[in-house]
Amino acid sequence: MCVLPKVTQVLLANPRDAKKAQAAAAQMPMTLEKLFSQTIRATNSVVAGLIDHRLSEVEFTGVTDLPAAVQRSRVIVTATPATKPLIQADGVQPGTHLNAIGADMGGKQEPDAKLFQRAQAYTDDVPQASEVGEIQNPIKAGVIKPEQVAEIGNALLDPTLGRHDANAITIFDSTGIALQDLAAANLAFVRAKEQGVGTQVDL
């Protein structure tokens, strides 16, 4: 659904979730050259904690200038409880994908609502996201309508709902569904048994 010819930067807006950056670097199927972690003060300890010998070709860099990092990034991951926009619409470049996975609640707002004018939005559940997700603000502002937002499950089943232009901006507004959590947990359990890893505990 989200096809990017080359990933050069991933921005993680919350240093407390720095391990998400490491996981993203490990799982990206494309070339990843740099990865940014925005901190109040970019400390060596935060960056050092991300270094992994399995990711020797990835350069981890701490930055404090969030707008500049946004302009240089093509994959952005936000994981904050922000109620004021962290990601300004005019700083997001063509071809960028944004994962907004921060705390879900009324009033939350990580990307600027105006960004949705230029982007195709996806979410896991439109009614839920309309109340507590990132799409609540652009819907209230009349920037988009709920029917313009595609649910990720439908997009996975129907390729026509995905990205068709390398310059398109896409946003995934993740609010979380218990059924998806259970499915993911079951898959992890099955894979662990197949690979003989983990510890079995009788409850």
Residue 198 resides in a domain:
no
**What number of other Cβ atoms are within 10 A of residue 130's Cβ?**
17
At 22 the pLDDT is 63
Calpha distance 59→7 (Å, rounded): 13
pTM: 0.75
Residue 188 located in a structural domain: no
The span from the CA of 191 to the CA of 17, in Å, is 25
Per-residue model confidence (pLDDT) at position 136: 95
- Predicted pLDDT of residue 38: 46
Residue 35 lies in a domain: yes
Classify residue 190: in a domain, yes or no: no
From first to last of its 203 residues, the chain has per-residue pLDDT tens of 334 344 455 555 455 556 666 666 666 544 444 444 444 344 455 555 555 545 555 556 666 678 888 888 888 888 888 889 989 999 999 999 998 988 788 888 999 999 999 999 999 999 999 999 999 999 999 999 999 999 998 998 998 998 888 899 999 999 988 888 899 899 999 999 999 998 888 88
Nearest residue to 104 via CA among 120, 72, 87, 127: 127
Give the chain's domain count. 1
Residue 50 maps to a domain: yes
**CATH no. for residue 27?**
3.40.50.720
DSSP 57-102: TPEEEEES-HHHHHHH-SEEEE----SS-SB-GGGPPTT-EEEE-S
Residue 96 lies in a domain: yes
The candidate with the shortest Cα–Cα distance to 38, out of 12, 9, 59, 19, is 12
The residues, any chain, with a CB within 8 Å of residue 108's CB and separated by 6 or more, are 81, 82, 83, 102, 132, 133, 134, 136
Residue 197 lies in a domain: no
For 43, the domain range is: 7-177
